[in-house]
């Protein structure tokens, strides 16, 4: 789905970028080398001037190469079908750059994670606090620097059993903890709600509790073609999109042509993954609303999809099909017929069930008007995926930055303006139907080419950006190839990373009873995102409270 105005938009974009530094085209991205002091201005131009979307920030320790730190900001510019990567080199003695968070609030987490992991300071950041690293992590040690060995075990004093706690709010309101272990969350995560009666007046979030350091492991001890397999293990629900995204980043960096058939196989598996993920979510959402019959029914519909994935790849999940340059499994002729049959059934059953569910007044009334996120807020926090599309932002990587076989297939991107939980439910429902249609088209048009292109050379220090539309939204990976068949820097950014901050906006003023469905409505994938702490409080008014005290609830009122 190419737009006719792509070339014009691109010229404008290139002109804009050339004002700040030299522009290089890498696959679907423009790499522009800018001076650090220009960053807020470039960010402002790209996000608000040109109508792009901030994706993420990446820090890299290039001291062994050229004695600098590199800071990348990644933007998606949908009308040009291009990503823009701004690269700023920072001196090793005092790596610092002006923060772009005042311009784009959505950059808050990205910059803080860079600060934690690589040690680049951001001047003018409204919240210069730790995000990923625990409170008791020693100062001045940054795990993603190259002089920090991946197998070094730090002896850390004390236990990080503390959460940020806002005194003045706690005095006035009841504090209701959701997490770190809570039936509505399924993963360790901590939301602290300040509740007046049954109404949430303020919300805080702390995550990144099970950070696994996948980036460090990949950079330190894995080869280029092993990383797809660890990338797939970032998430237990949408892992394939991560391995796909990584492979695309490497393919883009090394200019590898992927055979047509491989692109189609990837598309089919990506969409099967989306179908199962959305059906899973729709079930969980109903479970959170207490409607377990709907939960079971959606999961029953989902089961044949899991079995189909198992038939196609050998695994219900974590397909392990992607390698750089193509895929490892083919789709056999006899699979096509069977898959089409299953998909037809999934579509029929999903339509019938959803129509029934939407007729149940009690269920719909719990979703309608609940967890509202305005278009403006969605844009400022840079949310992605169904969360963005339910708030009226018409973005979808599959259409805006065609990858795999999406450019050759016909599909619609559902967008709704209501901005509530029901809109997110309906967007996902419509996407299931679109995905079924995409898989059907792809299965019927499978090109007959080889599956994999292994004819490539690993050139060191090439940059590539990969982007896919995961079930939860835009998934972005930045790869810098390394010496000796390795990755020098790999940074995956899962969609929930951009979506979780939005829950705090949705929670304000909501009923406590609606909090779980609001948190669930972005389909949060904490393990993908892991480790964070969002808080917009003046630091002076915070104190720390131990979890033990919290469990006892000793500070009520």
> Which DSSP symbol is given to 510?
-
Q: If binding is defined by CB under 8 A, does position 352 make contact with other proteins?
A: no
Shortest separation between residue 533's beta carbon and other proteins, angstroms:
20
H or E element, residue 481: strand 473-481
Tell me the number of residues near other proteins by CB under 8 A.
39
Distances 117 to 132, 220, 281, 359, 517 between C-alpha atoms, Å: 8, 15, 32, 49, 32
| CA gap 465, 254 in Å, rounded | 11
| CA gap 294, 303 in Å, rounded | 14
Please say which residue, 300 or 307, places its beta carbon nearer to other proteins.
Answer: 300
Non-local (6+) Cβ contacts of 76 within 8 A are 52, 53, 55, 83, 84, 395, 397, 400, 401, 467, 474, 476
Q: If binding is defined by CB under 8 A, does position 293 make contact with other proteins?
A: yes
Shortest separation between residue 536's beta carbon and other proteins, angstroms:
22
- Span interacting with other proteins, options 194-202, 336-344, 429-437, 447-455, rule CB under 8 A: 194-202
Considering only 172, 221, 543, 556, the residue that binds other proteins (CB under 8 A) is 556
Cα of first residue to Cα of last residue in the chain, in angstroms, is 57
Q: If binding is defined by CB under 8 A, does position 11 make contact with other proteins?
A: no
Say whether the peptide bond before residue 180 is cis (omega within 30 degrees of 0): yes
Are 499 and 385 in contact by the 8 Å Cβ rule? The answer is: yes
Distances 139 to 3, 98, 127, 213, 540 between C-alpha atoms, Å: 49, 21, 17, 18, 20
Shortest separation between residue 163's beta carbon and other proteins, angstroms:
13
- Span interacting with other proteins, options 140-148, 233-241, 287-295, 409-417, rule CB under 8 A: 287-295
Please say which residue, 73 or 287, places its beta carbon nearer to other proteins.
Answer: 287
Q: If binding is defined by CB under 8 A, does position 195 make contact with other proteins?
A: yes
The SS3 assignment for 537 reads coil
Shortest separation between residue 524's beta carbon and other proteins, angstroms:
14
- Span interacting with other proteins, options 228-236, 284-292, 451-459, 481-489, rule CB under 8 A: 284-292
Q: By CB under 8 A, what part of segment 114-133 binds other proteins?
A: none
Q: By CB under 8 A, what part of segment 154-193 binds other proteins?
A: 174-177, 182-184
Q: By CB under 8 A, what part of segment 196-255 binds other proteins?
A: 197-198
Q: By CB under 8 A, what part of segment 28-67 binds other proteins?
A: none
Q: If binding is defined by CB under 8 A, does position 97 make contact with other proteins?
A: no
Please say which residue, 255 or 300, places its beta carbon nearer to other proteins.
Answer: 300
| CA gap 111, 282 in Å, rounded | 33
Residues that bind other proteins (CB under 8 A): 174-177, 182-184, 195, 197-198, 286-297, 300, 360, 362-363, 365-366, 511-516, 551-554, 556
């Amino acid at each position: 789905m190419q737009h006719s105005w792509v070339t014009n938009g691109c010229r404008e974009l290139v002109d804009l970028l050339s004002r700040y530094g030299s522009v290089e085209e890498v696959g679907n991205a423009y790499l522009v080398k800018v001076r650090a002091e220009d960053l807020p201005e470039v960010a402002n131009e790209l996000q608000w001037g040109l109508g792009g979307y901030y994706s993420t920030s990446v820090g890299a320790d290039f001291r062994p190469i050229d004695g600098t730190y590199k800071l990348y900001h990644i933007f998606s510019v949908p009308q040009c079908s291009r990503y823009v990567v701004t690269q700023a080199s920072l001196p090793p003695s005092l790596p610092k750059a002006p923060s772009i968070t005042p311009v784009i609030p959505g950059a808050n987490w990205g910059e803080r994670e860079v600060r934690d992991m690589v040690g680049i300071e951001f001047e003018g950041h409204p919240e210069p606090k730790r995000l990923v690293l625990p409170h008791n992590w020693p100062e001045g040690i940054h795990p993603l620097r190259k002089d920090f060995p991946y197998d070094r075990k730090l002896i850390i004093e004390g236990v990080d059993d503390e959460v940020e706690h806002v005194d003045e709010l706690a005095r006035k309101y009841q504090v209701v903890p959701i997490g770190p272990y809570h039936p509505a969350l399924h993963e360790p995560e901590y939301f602290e709600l300040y509740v007046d009666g049954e109404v949430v007046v303020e919300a805080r979030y702390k995550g990144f509790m099970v950070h696994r350091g996948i980036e460090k492991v990949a950079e330190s001890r894995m080869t280029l073609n092993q990383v797809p397999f660890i990338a797939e293990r970032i998430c237990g629900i949408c892992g394939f999109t991560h391995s796909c995204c990584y492979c695309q980043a490497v393919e883009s960096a090394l200019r590898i042509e992927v055979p047509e058939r491989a692109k189609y196989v990837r598309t089919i598996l990506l969409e099967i993954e989306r179908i199962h993920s959305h059906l899973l979510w729709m079930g969980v959402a109903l479970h959170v609303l207490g409607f377990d019959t709907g939960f079971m029914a959606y999961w029953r519909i989902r089961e044949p999809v899991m079995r189909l994935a198992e038939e196609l790849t050998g695994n219900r999940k974590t397909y392990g099909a992607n390698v750089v340059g193509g895929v490892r499994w083919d789709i056999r002729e006899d699979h096509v017929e069977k898959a089409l049959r299953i998909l037809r059934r999934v579509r029929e059953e999903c339509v019938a069930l959803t129509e029934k569910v939407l007729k149940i007044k009690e269920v719909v009334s719990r979703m309608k008007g609940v967890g509202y996120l305005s278009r403006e807020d969605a844009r400022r926090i840079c949310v992605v995926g169904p969360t963005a599309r339910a708030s009226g932002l018409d973005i979808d990587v599959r259409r805006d930055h065609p990858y795999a076989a999406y450019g050759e297939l016909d599909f619609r991107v559902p967008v709704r303006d209501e901005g509530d939980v029901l809109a997110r439910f309906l967007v996902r429902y419509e996407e299931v139907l679109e995905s079924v249609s995409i898989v059907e088209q792809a299965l019927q048009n499978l090109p007959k080419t080889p599956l994999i292109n292994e004819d490539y050379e690993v050139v060191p220090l090439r940059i590539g950006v990969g982007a896919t539309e995961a079930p939860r939204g835009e998934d972005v990976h930045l790869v810098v190839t390394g010496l000796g068949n390795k990755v020098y820097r790999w940074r995956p950014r899962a969609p929930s990373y951009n979506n979780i901050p939005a829950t705090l906006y949705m929670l304000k003023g909501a009923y406590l009873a609606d909090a779980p469905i609001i948190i669930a409505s972005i389909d949060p994938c904490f393990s993908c995102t892991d480790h964070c702490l969002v808080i917009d409080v003046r630091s002076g008014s915070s104190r720390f409270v131990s979890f033990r005290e919290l469990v006892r609830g000793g500070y009520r009122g």
